[in-house]
């Protein structure tokens, strides 16, 4: 707007800062401030009652020495890898199918997207019922087709896969829609040229669709990984971390440490460890992306 004398420019600047004020006030009070406070808390011992004590790296040392911490990390990595891989591959396949001019495509999209908008708490209660070992629908279906029933959420081996299946079910539609947007951004002329050159269907997928879709795939991978590290609701409702900590993931671990055991310092240390790992992971992601993401 203002390409006028400096008095007007000053005025414009003042307006701009005023407009930014609410969001940046929030940023300082509710994001940056707490991040620093969290770092401070991670070096102290505090149960919310007695005044906090500075104990240096003790919380980090204690965390690293507890078995639950390592189990939590194993669970979290299992959950992140399995749910992200499952969700990304299925949603890509789905998006490819729905990018076709099929009849009823809108209805399909609507159905596959539906779980995304529903409350995780409500659908987790429903899934706990589906997974019920004695009276649940899944075991009834397995019996109907002559397969042995599964203990689902009640067993050490099956609890985490069950949680992953439910999470894939809920996030599939979200990634699908983003993939669809990416697919629709690929110009027809690429496929026309390939056809003239006699490329097979597989070659067109491999050498046109995949590379041109790679920025979308990258975006989905980064956001899905960050999201999966913050999984909480479905696990809190379906298993509460059990059986025997088999589904205890990092956010649940932090929640239990801070709000059930009131070990504020240790919980903060775990949060910061997670933050650093996520940060490095995202950097690695961006670095590796140079090798496989093509920006047209």
Partner 1 sequence: MVEAPQGLADIEAPMRTQVQPTSQRRRTRLRHFVLHVLLSIGAFFMILPFLWMLSTSLKAPGDVFKFPPEWIPDPIVWSNYAKSWTLKPMGLAYLNSIKISTLTTVGTLFTSSLAAFAFAKLRFRGQHILFIVLLATLMIPVQVTLIPLFILFKWIDWIDTHWPLIVPAILTNAYGVFLLRQFFMSLPNALGDAGEIDGCNPFQIYWHIYLPLSVPALVTLGIFAFLYHWNEFLLPLIYLNSLQNFTIPLMLATFQGAYITDWELLMAAATLALVPVIIVYIFGQRYFVQGIALTGLKG
Q: Report the DSSP beta bridge partners of residue 53.
A: 45
Residues with Cβ within 8 Å of 94's Cβ and at least 6 positions away in sequence, in order, are 112, 172, 176, 179
Q: Is 76 in the site for partner 1 (CB under 8 A)?
A: no
Q: Is 78 in the site for partner 1 (CB under 8 A)?
A: no
- Minimum distance, C-beta of residue 187 to partner 1, in the bound complex (Å): 11
Count of positions on this chain that bind partner 1 (CB under 8 A):
115
The residue (of 81 and 97) whose beta carbon lies closer to partner 1 is: 97
Instruction: List the one residue from 236, 239, 241, 245 that touches partner 1 (CB under 8 A).
Output: 236
Q: Per the omega criterion (within 30 degrees of 0), is the bond before 13 cis? A: no
Q: Is 19 in the site for partner 1 (CB under 8 A)?
A: yes
Which range of residues in 58-66, 156-164, 232-240, 284-292 is near partner 1 by CB under 8 A?
Answer: 232-240
Q: Virtual CA dihedral for 220, 165, 163, 235, nearest 10 degrees?
A: 50
Which range of residues in 55-63, 72-80, 152-160, 167-175 is near partner 1 by CB under 8 A?
Answer: 167-175
* DSSP 8-state code for residue 44: E
Which range of residues in 60-68, 70-78, 180-188, 287-295 is near partner 1 by CB under 8 A?
Answer: 180-188
Phi-psi region of 286 (alpha: psi -120 to 50; beta: other; left: phi over 0): alpha
Return the residues of window 89-128 that contact partner 1 according to CB under 8 A. Answer: 90, 92-94, 96-102, 104, 106, 108-115, 117-123, 125-127
Q: Are 223 and 282 within 8 A, CB to CB? A: no
């Amino acid at each position: 707007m203002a390409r006028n004398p400096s008095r007007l420019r000053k005025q414009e600047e003042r307006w701009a800062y005023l407009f930014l004020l609410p969001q940046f006030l929030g940023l300082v009070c509710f994001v940056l401030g707490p991040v620093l406070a969290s770092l401070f808390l991670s070096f102290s011992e505090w149960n919310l009652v007695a005044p906090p004590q500075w104990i240096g790296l003790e919380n980090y040392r204690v965390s690293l020495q507890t078995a639950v911490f390592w189990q939590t990390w194993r669970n979290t990595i299992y959950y992140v890898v399995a749910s992200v891989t499952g969700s990304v591959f299925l949603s890509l396949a789905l998006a490819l199918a729905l990018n076709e001019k099929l009849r009823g495509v809108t209805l399909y999209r609507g159905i596959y997207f539906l779980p995304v908008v529903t409350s995780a708490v409500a659908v987790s209660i429903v899934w706990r019922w589906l997974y019920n070992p004695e009276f649940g629908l899944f075991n009834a279906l397995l019996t109907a087709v002559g397969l042995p029933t599964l203990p689902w959420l009640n067993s050490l081996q099956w609890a985490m896969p069950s949680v992953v299946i439910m999470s894939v079910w809920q996030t599939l539609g979200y990634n699908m829609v983003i993939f669809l947007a990416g697919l629709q951004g690929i110009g027809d002329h690429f496929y026309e040229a390939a056809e003239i050159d006699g490329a097979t269907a597989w070659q067109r997928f491999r050498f046109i669709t995949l590379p041109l879709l790679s920025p979308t795939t990258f975006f989905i991978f980064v956001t899905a990984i960050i999201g999966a590290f913050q999984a909480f609701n479905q696990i809190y409702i379906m298993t509460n971390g059990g059986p025997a900590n088999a589904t205890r993931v990092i956010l649940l671990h932090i929640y239990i440490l801070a709000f059930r055991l009131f070990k504020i310092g240790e919980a903060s240390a775990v949060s910061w460890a997670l933050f650093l790992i996520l940060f490095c992971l995202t950097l690695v992601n961006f670095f590796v992306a140079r090798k496989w993401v093509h920006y047209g």
